Amino acid sequence: MTGDPSPNQNHLLAALPTAEFERLAGKLELVYLPLGRMLYEPGSQMHHAYFPTTSIISLHYVMATGASAEAAGVGNEGIVGISLFMGGDSTPSSAVVQTAGHAYCLDARSLKDEFNRFELLQRLLLRYTQALITQIAQTAACNRHHLVEQQLSRWLLLTLDRSASSELVMTQELLGSMLGVRREGITEAAGHLQELGFIRYRRGHITVLDRAGLETRACECYFVVRKELQRLLSDVQYRQETLPKPVAKDG
């Protein structure tokens, strides 16, 4: 399958030494994740973990009323399904595909076995989990204390870090759901960022035109999350050699 995403596009998989990766490769399956696909329902049994390459996954908390807000996003820097190696097989949050793309899928039993067997993989996953916890905590503080424009700028920058393109497919309704704010608030904030020349917004698409400018509108939360991820994985050595790809399958 020429042109398929490489496992090395996921930072955690790329950080595994060749021998450990080759042992894991036969258990990985390449899947395509369409926009809006639900990977986990709140409280449901989790059967797989996902290592995104070109997809981005949104972790949502859903209220009894049906209202929801994003707690964190996961892209090629991480893994979706930390509950599987943290001692639980379910989570109160949902995991929804925010940006369509590919991921490498690993069944729950294999992930648990590899986590318990190999110290390097365990250390990598626990460091990433700490970074994810920081992101969740910072998102909660941001949603409580910062303006919608600051929240939107933070969210756009984090999404841009995980994307190969400066154009994001995103409706105002979905953005409102991500940030837990009314559509009118998103319209106003996006409109102001567009007036400043930092983004271009047309129905269903946002293009970042000036990243440096967008950073001036973001709160400190974006920089805290980015710095913590860099700190925790700063000493990771990535593989350079080309490796055979795992088996691919349809999502």
Of the candidates 19, 122, 34, 143, the residue with the CA atom closest to the CA atom of residue 79: 122
Whether the per-residue pLDDT at 227 is higher than 80: the answer is yes
Specify if 52 maps to a domain: yes
Residue 146: predicted pLDDT: 92
Domain that holds residue 191: 147-218
Task: Count the domains in the chain.
Answer: 2
Over residues 159-171, the mean pLDDT reads 86
106 and 45 both lie in a single domain: yes
- Partnered with residue 57 across adjacent β-strands are 74, 97
Whether residue 244 is predicted with pLDDT greater than 90 in this model: the reply is: no
**Are 40 and 135 contained in the same domain?**
yes
User: What is the percentage of the chain residues whose pLDDT exceeds 70?
Assistant: 92
Residue 65: predicted pLDDT:
81
Residue 1 lies in a domain: no
Question: Cα 29–60–229 angle (5° rounding)?
Answer: 70
**pLDDT tens digits, 70-95:** 899 999 999 999 999 988 788 888 99
Q: Tokens 């996953």, residue?
A: 125
The predicted pLDDT at position 248 comes to 53
Amino acid 1: pLDDT: 41
Average confidence score pLDDT of the chain: 87
Sheet holding 68-74, edge to edge: 38-40, 94-99, 56-62, 68-74
The contacts of residue 113 (CB under 8 Å, 6+ apart) are none
* Domain match, 155 and 105 both: no
Mean pLDDT of 29-48: 92
Q: What is the pLDDT of residue 217?
A: 95
The answer to whether residues 56 and 119 belong to one domain is yes
Distance between CA 248 and CA 251 in Å, rounded?
Answer: 9
Residue 234 has pLDDT above 80, yes or no: no
Looking at per-residue pLDDT, the higher value among 226 and 178 belongs to 226
Report the pLDDT averaged over residues 17-38: 92
Q: What pLDDT was estimated at residue 164?
A: 82
Enter the pTM of the model.
Answer: 0.88
